[in-house]
Structure 1
Amino acid sequence: MRRASAAAALSLAVLAPVAAPASATAPPVQTPAHAAPAAATSGPLLIGHRGAAGTAPENTVSAFEEARSSHADFFELDVQLSADGVPFIFHDDVPARTTNVAQVFPGRENDPITSFTWAELQRLETGSHFSGRFAGEKIPHFDDAAKVAGNKIGVFVEIKSPQNSPGLEKVVADSLRNNPAWNRLVRCGKIEVLGFDAASNRKFARLAPEVPLQQLMDTVPDAATLAQIATYADHFGTDYRLLDAAGVQRVKAAGLGMGVYTVDSTAAYDSVVALGVDRVTGDFPVQFSRHARGQKAFPQNTGVRVAGAVNDVPGNDLQPETGEHVILQNTTRHPVDVSGYRVRDTKDNTLTVGRGYVLAPGARLNVYTGPGTNRPGAYYNGAATEALDNEGDSVALWSSHGTLQDTFAN
C-alpha cells in the first residue's frame, strides 16, 4: 500500500518490548472479582489517554509527565487552533468543564475554545478541577508535548474537531516536519496522528504521508469501508465496549492495525488483549503498565474495591432511594473506614462517601448520586444531576488520603 513504509516504521515500536523496572513492590492479594494480571510478555502498545487522565488533569504537562514515567509506549493528546492560529492542547469544544473560565472570563464558559486567543488561553487554569495538587496548571502549547516526550515515549496526536480549526492539519504536519523535537520523534517511529473526521485524515495523509495515521470510529464498519480507510490510513481505532472478535478480524483483514479506547479497568484490558488488539488506550497508563508486567495495578489498595455500578435504573436515575449508584465492597478480613472515599468518573463527576461509614469484612456500600435516606449500606450524595453514563462508564475509587484504590468499567 501507499502508506506501507510509514506502517513499517511504527512496527519497530510495536515489536519492541517494554523494559522492566529495576525493582517492584510486592502486591497485595488480588480479589476474585478482578482478573489475574496479564503475563509479563510482549503485548499491545499501551497509550496514555490525554496523557494520564485518570491520575492527573487531562491534556496537561503533568499528565504527559506521568505517562512518560509509566512505561507506556505513547501518550495521546488533542490539538486545536486558537483564534490567532496557535496550536494548543485541549479536548473539549468549550472551556467550562476543565478550566476556571467562569472566574477569568465570566459569560464565556460555553464559547468555543477556539474563539480564545493564545494569550487568553494562557490566563486559564486547568488543574484545580482535578485536584488542588495541580493548581496553576496551564493549557499547553502543542510543542510542549514534544519537549516532555523527549526520547522516552511516543505521542499520539489527535486532530480534534477540525471543523473548528481550519488549517489544523497543515499546522500539525508542518510542526512534525520542521520542529526538530517533533521531527526526531517522527524519524524514530514515535508519532502517530489520528482523528474521527475522515476528510481531515485524508487531508493529513496527503500533507504528511510519512507519518502513520489512524482512523477513529465508534464501531467497526463493514469490509468495504475498511478497505477504503486502508487507502489513506495505517491503523483503525474504536470503542472497546462494542468490539468483538469478528470486528478485529475485519480490521486486520483490511491490513490495518487494531486499536481500542478508552480502556480503564484491568478486566477490560485483559479482554481486549485476548481479542488480539494491537494497541490499548486508557486513562491509567501507570496502573495498566504494572498490570501488563505482572505487578499489582493498585499497590496502595486498602482492600476496598468497586464491585459494580448501576448506571441506568428503571425510572429516573435520580429518583429518591433507588437511583443510580456505585457499589463498594470491603474484600479484607478487617473493618475499613471509607469515610471521605471518592468515586470519580472520566467527566469529573464525583461521588463522596460521608462520615461514619466503616465497612465490615465482606460488607458492601451503595454510593448513590441522588437523594435518599442514609443508612448502613447506603450513602446518598443528593446531587441534582446524573453522574453515570447509562451506556457504560469508567470510574476510579480514591481514598480519603488521595490514593488510587481501584478502577471499574461497565
Structure 2
Amino acid sequence: MNQNATHRRPARRLAAAVTAAAALSAAMLAVGPAAAAPAPEDAPVLIGHRGAAGTAPENTIAAFKDGRASGVDFFEIDVQLSADGVPFLFHDNTPARTTNVEEVFPGREDDPITSFTWEELQQLDTGAYFSERYAGEKIPHFDAAAEIATRNTGVFIEIKSPVNSPGIEQVVADNLSEDKNWNRLLEAGKIEVLSFDETSNRRFAEIAPDVPLQQLTGTVPDAATLERYATFADSFGTNYRTLDEAGAQRVKDAGLGLGVYTVNSTEAYEQSVDLGVDRVTGDFPIQFSRYERGLKVFPQNVGVRIADSVNDVPGADLQPETGEHVILENTGNTTVDVSGWLLRDAANNILRVGEGYEIPAGGQLRVYTGPGTDAEDAYYNDGTANVLNNGGDSVALWTDSGSLQDTFAN
C-alpha cells in the first residue's frame, strides 16, 4: 500500500469537511434566548470532550446531547470492547472512578473495564458520580453516539487503550461502513478517528484509509517523528499546556492538521488560537461556542469567579493551614452567599464551600483541600488526598443549585 497516497486523500476530504462543518455550525447555532453573530470563519473547529464532560457525566447520552445542543462541530467519544466483543463508550481502564461498581460488583473496582461483559456493563450506573440528576445513566453502546450526532455535529472517535481491546480497529471500521447512522456521518465528513497508540492508528489506516485519522501524543515530537505520523495520519493532537510556537510550526511543516486538548478556559482557548490550532477540544463546549460568537460565556454568573488555583504549594500539598487551594473572588457589587458551592476538576474531584460563607464585594475566599482553621476568608475541606494536579489543572465553579459560574485553567 502507498501510505503517502492514503494520507493525502483523506486529508483533502477532512479539510473540506472542516470548512463545511464550521459553516453549518455557525449557520444553525443559537444558544440562549437570542443568537449573536456566527463564529469567525477562521475560528478553529470545536469538539466537546467526552461529549461535554464539564456539564454532564462523561461518555453518556446526556453528555452527547449537551455537546450536540452546544452547537459545536463534533463531540468526542472513547470506544473499547467488552469481554464478549461489544463496542461500548467509556474512558478509563477500570470502572472505579465513574461508576457504582463497588455496589454492583464488590471487589471488581480495579478490574479492567474490558473484562466486563456487555450485560454486566449495563448493570452499572455511570451518571450518579457526577450528580444525582444523572442517576441511572448507563454505559452507552458505540452506536448510540451515531444516533445522537447529526450532519452538523459529528463524532471524534478515540480508540481507547486498544491493547485491551484486540480487534477494535476492525470493529470500528465495520460499523462506520455498515451501520446506516455511522455511514451517514462518514459520508457527510463528520467522522474522525484518533488514538494515542501509533500501532493502532497504523492498523486502522490500513483497514479504512479514507477515514480521517489523528495521532495523539502528550507533547509535540521532533520533525522526523511528525513526518512518520504524516504517512498514515491526517492530523496531530496534543496537550495545549505543552504546545509552543516551535512545536506548532513543526506540526504544520509536516503537513498535519493541529488540535489541542483539553481546553477549559477562555484564556487557554485564546492561547491555542494564537498558536494557529485547527481544532480545540474542551469539556465545556457551550462556553466556547458562546465565546466564539461574542456572547457572555457564563450568562448565569452572579459576580464570583475563580481568581487562582494554587496547585503546587511550597511543602506538602495537604499541609495544615497552607496547603493546596482555590481562590474565589467576588467581582460584583454585592455580597454573595457561596454556602454549599462546589469546585469540580476535570477528573471529578470536588471541593465544597461550607455553610455560612459569604464573599463581600471585592473580597476573596480560599477553599483548601486539606486541614486547617476555618476563617471568614478560608474554608478547609479536611481532605486526606490531594485534588489539584501540580502540573496544571482545570476547575469549574458551581452554585449549590447546579448553576455553572466560571471555569479556570492553569
Same fold, TM-score > 0.5, yes or no: yes
**Which residue in the other structure is 1:30 paired with?**
none
Per-residue CA deviation, residues 292-317 of structure 1 (Å, 9 max, x unaligned), is: 11111110001100000110111110
Per-residue CA deviation, residues 226-279 of structure 1 (Å, 9 max, x unaligned), is: 000000000000000010111111101100000000000011011101111000
**Which residue in the other structure is 1:372 paired with?**
372
Counterpart secondary structure, 1:214: strand
In 1: Cα distance, 2:136 partner to 2:348 partner: 18
**Which residue in the other structure is 1:7 paired with?**
11
Counterpart secondary structure, 1:313: coil
In 2: Cα distance, 1:398 partner to 1:200 partner: 39
**Which residue in the other structure is 1:273 paired with?**
273
**Which residue in the other structure is 1:186 paired with?**
186
In 2: Cα distance, 1:101 partner to 1:193 partner: 29
**Which residue in the other structure is 2:383 paired with?**
383
TM-score (norm 1): 0.95
Counterpart secondary structure, 2:288: helix
Counterpart secondary structure, 1:146: helix
**Which residue in the other structure is 1:47 paired with?**
47
User: Is the 8 Å Cα contact of residues 395 and 408 (structure 1) preserved in structure 2?
Assistant: yes
- Percent identical among aligned pairs is 65
**Which residue in the other structure is 2:361 paired with?**
361
Q: What residue identity is the alignment partner of 1:5?
A: R
TM-score (norm 2): 0.95
In 2: Cα distance, 1:38 partner to 1:290 partner: 10
User: Is the 8 Å Cα contact of residues 304 and 329 (structure 2) preserved in structure 1?
Assistant: yes
**Which residue in the other structure is 1:104 paired with?**
104
In 2: Cα distance, 1:347 partner to 1:263 partner: 14
User: Is the 8 Å Cα contact of residues 368 and 379 (structure 2) preserved in structure 1?
Assistant: yes
Q: What residue identity is the alignment partner of 1:280?
A: V
Residue 150 to residue 22, structure 1, CA distance change in 2 (3 Å)? closer
In 2: Cα distance, 1:389 partner to 1:212 partner: 33
**Which residue in the other structure is 1:294 paired with?**
294
Count residues in correspondence. 401
Q: What residue identity is the alignment partner of 1:19?
A: A
CA positional deviation for 1:24: 4.9
1:82 aligns with 2:85: no
CA positional deviation for 1:144: 0.4
Q: How does 1:327-346 map to 2 (within 5 A)?
A: 327-346=327-346
User: Is the 8 Å Cα contact of residues 40 and 294 (structure 1) preserved in structure 2?
Assistant: no
**Which residue in the other structure is 2:139 paired with?**
139
CA positional deviation for 1:151: 2.8
Identify which range, 367-376 or 10-19, moves more after superposition. Answer: 10-19
1:130 aligns with 2:133: no
In 2: Cα distance, 1:166 partner to 1:205 partner: 16
CA RMSD of aligned residues (A): 1.6
Per-residue CA deviation, residues 194-244 of structure 1 (Å, 9 max, x unaligned), is: 000101100000000010000000110111110000000000000000101
User: Is the 8 Å Cα contact of residues 126 and 135 (structure 2) preserved in structure 1?
Assistant: yes
User: Is the 8 Å Cα contact of residues 201 and 213 (structure 1) preserved in structure 2?
Assistant: yes
Runs (5+) with no aligned partner, structure 1: 28-36
CA positional deviation for 1:19: 2.0
**Which residue in the other structure is 1:304 paired with?**
304
User: Is the 8 Å Cα contact of residues 159 and 169 (structure 1) preserved in structure 2?
Assistant: yes
In 2: Cα distance, 1:24 partner to 1:114 partner: 40
In 2: Cα distance, 1:133 partner to 1:152 partner: 28
**Which residue in the other structure is 2:151 paired with?**
151
User: Is the 8 Å Cα contact of residues 344 and 350 (structure 1) preserved in structure 2?
Assistant: yes
Per-residue CA deviation, residues 306-345 of structure 1 (Å, 9 max, x unaligned), is: 0001101111101100000000000001111111110000
Counterpart secondary structure, 1:69: helix
Residue 39 to residue 153, structure 1, CA distance change in 2 (3 Å)? closer
In 2: Cα distance, 1:42 partner to 1:258 partner: 14
CA positional deviation for 1:356: 1.2
Counterpart secondary structure, 1:106: coil
In 2: Cα distance, 1:55 partner to 1:223 partner: 37
In 2: Cα distance, 1:372 partner to 1:22 partner: 46
In 2: Cα distance, 1:143 partner to 1:38 partner: 31
1:19 aligns with 2:57: no
1:260 aligns with 2:260: yes
User: Is the 8 Å Cα contact of residues 317 and 386 (structure 2) preserved in structure 1?
Assistant: yes
User: Is the 8 Å Cα contact of residues 308 and 328 (structure 1) preserved in structure 2?
Assistant: yes
**Which residue in the other structure is 2:118 paired with?**
118
Residue 346 to residue 296, structure 1, CA distance change in 2 (3 Å)? same
Q: What residue identity is the alignment partner of 1:91?
A: H
Q: What residue identity is the alignment partner of 1:339?
A: S
**Which residue in the other structure is 1:196 paired with?**
196
Q: What residue identity is the alignment partner of 1:4?
A: R
Counterpart secondary structure, 1:371: coil
Counterpart secondary structure, 2:281: strand
User: Is the 8 Å Cα contact of residues 41 and 293 (structure 1) preserved in structure 2?
Assistant: no
**Which residue in the other structure is 2:318 paired with?**
318
In 1: Cα distance, 2:376 partner to 2:191 partner: 51
Q: What residue identity is the alignment partner of 1:184?
A: R
Residue 331 to residue 62, structure 1, CA distance change in 2 (3 Å)? same
Per-residue CA deviation, residues 336-361 of structure 1 (Å, 9 max, x unaligned), is: 11111100001111000011111111
User: Is the 8 Å Cα contact of residues 396 and 405 (structure 1) preserved in structure 2?
Assistant: yes
